[in-house]
Amino acid sequence: MKITCYTGGFVQTNGYLIETPDGNLLIDAPEGITEWISARGVRVDGVLLTHQHYDHVTDAAALKTLGLKLHAFAGYSQDLTLESAARGWGLPISVVPYEIDEIFDMEKVLEIAGLEIELAHVPGHSTDSVTLYLKDHGVLFSGDTLFAGSVGRTDLPGGSTRQLMTGIAKHLMTLPPETRVWPGHGPGTTIAREKVENPYLE
């Protein structure tokens, strides 16, 4: 399995390309990732959204024009993308509407592109936040729940510090220490490093 990180948009959002002998996946849809994928000439089997804040779905509609299926915890809404809130803030945030093709079944391991992916609902940063754990490869895609040295902000609509910290403790800190964490912003890290160095997890 090969993982390549793409970073795009004005808040520098990470998207990830996972390539396997049995297929390829994208994690999240930040601005510019459609052009990036097209330039690489890579066939992609699906897009898994960690959550639907605007910066993670800017290219969602564009990816659908390539025939890709979107998978997420919930259907599209302007509340999830923060477009509704942004109007109140006076910010020009706008996302081209899209349709989610598959809603995650949180009770089952997701099998796609030859991978088995364990899903966990970890709200607190957003109501629809999920993490994606590839147990066989020791890799976690954390979205905006856990970062290197930080955690997701909880002052946005639907945010809850208590929910986020409870979810991180239950679903992330219980993973093997050597688990590699690929977050929605910033550099990668490991569960072991965050247990020791992350000031928000003391």
Give per-residue pLDDT as tens, 127-162. 999 999 999 999 999 999 999 999 999 999 999 999
Average pLDDT over residues 22-45: 96
Average pLDDT over residues 34-58: 96
Question: Cβ distance 54 to 81 under 8 Å?
Answer: yes
pLDDT given for residue 12 in this prediction: 97
Domain count, the chain: 1
Q: Which segments of the chain are extended strands (E)?
A: 2-8, 13-20, 23-27, 46-48, 70-72, 102-103, 110-112, 115-121, 130-134, 139-143, 146-147, 150-151, 180-183, 189-190
Question: Cβ distance 94 to 131 under 8 Å?
Answer: no
Between CA 193 and CA 196 the distance in angstroms is: 5
pLDDT given for residue 88 in this prediction: 79
pLDDT given for residue 75 in this prediction: 98
Average pLDDT over residues 171-181: 98
pLDDT given for residue 113 in this prediction: 95
pLDDT given for residue 91 in this prediction: 77
Residue 10 vs residue 163, higher pLDDT:
163
pLDDT given for residue 86 in this prediction: 83
pTM of the model: 0.97
| Mean of pLDDT over the chain | 96
Average pLDDT over residues 21-36: 97
In the DSSP assignment, the letter for residue 137 is: G
Q: What CATH number should be reported for the domain holding residue 71?
A: 3.60.15.10
Between CA 198 and CA 142 the distance in angstroms is: 15
Find the domain containing 73 and state its range.
Answer: 2-201
Q: Print burial letters for 118-141: b (CB count within 10 Å at least 16), e (below 16).
A: bbbebbbbbbbbbbbbbeebebbb
Long-range contacts: 115-119, Cβ < 8 Å, 24+?
115/1, 115/18, 115/20, 115/22, 115/25, 117/48
Q: What is the pLDDT of residues 50-75, one digit of tens each?
A: 999 999 999 999 999 999 999 999 99
